[in-house]
Structure 1
């Protein structure tokens, strides 16, 4: 096989395969054919772009101990997905619960939710998708999009903290009852798209991406520096 033909075959194989490798806390993954629209931009058709660079992180992304506000919708939907998956797996073990003759005990529900919140969250992090920073991890819509994901650091604690905040605001019993009534879709709607005690939902409006927020902050800082320099020149 000639060198040119070999390179062509390898290129096609790379494009068609879902590749995934991890180096430290940076993960490259994805299938170019599976680029979903950004859920924050509903009714706004867009063509996805592929970025193989690392996410451009703002100070909040890098330093804050809490989940950045503009990523709270993704975080909520990831946690909702994990709650639903764990409930489904547990219910499948018991035919009587699956047939709705019985329910999971309160203690078991509490344990399931607590186990998720206390997870290591090492497979979740941030990466650039369609020009914006998004959260990514196994099973979530951004996981198969090609790109470099940055995890570790403060991200595990942020997920744990955010998960516990959701449980504290809604309550374990309401989370479970909602899942039983309307399954994964209904649970996501309750947790992420509904007001809770008068507070706006996590997915109520289009958040500003970290990149745009960082650019705006940098411009503001530059203006401050110019203003200070002008005052010094006057003196």
Structure 2
């Protein structure tokens, strides 16, 4: 019998994110976007298959979308490359997290997951010049608060959706210690997750022993910075919430 776990969220504080703009951060605007319509699929007549080629000064990002969940192909090519389904000398992005192109900032290419997970949207960042995978994470909402980039450097502010390896309800002290060590949050910044677990146990008492073991999900504002191959995550002032896994 499958169990359904409903995400519960407890707001621990209501404080504006320090330094965050009220407007969503903007990715770089492509110089040109080419869209090539592909033949219809008789087995999926409602789909609108297409190739989208977003051209930037030094490179192009190609997305082949057949109307399924996630793009069929994501690839990095030269800026002047033709916009076609089977391209030569392309760096194909083969990554379970990369479902669609999210945007570009300088030489950094962001891809987002095709589906959300644990109340957040996973994303991954690649180096446009080398095709190297640089970092991944998960954020809450529709946009980042801040994106800034320079030569080999990237800074992003967002509400991170962090899934712990333990349950704050089952082993509060040990789990809290592990979470603070992994995230940089202080013990006083951690939300009280007990109410969320108790509410779910009350709804599904037959699965109480399974529910109390579920890993805790903590949502909090961070500054993510990448430079010279190193990634750092620094918690920022702002509301910290407790969610539950999907």
The TM-score bracket by the shorter chain reads under 0.3
Question: Structure 2 length as normaliser, TM-score?
Answer: 0.23
Question: Structure 1 length as normaliser, TM-score?
Answer: 0.24
Greater relative contact order structure (CA < 8 Å, 6+ sep):
1
- Please identify which structure carries the higher helix content: 1
Larger Rg: 1
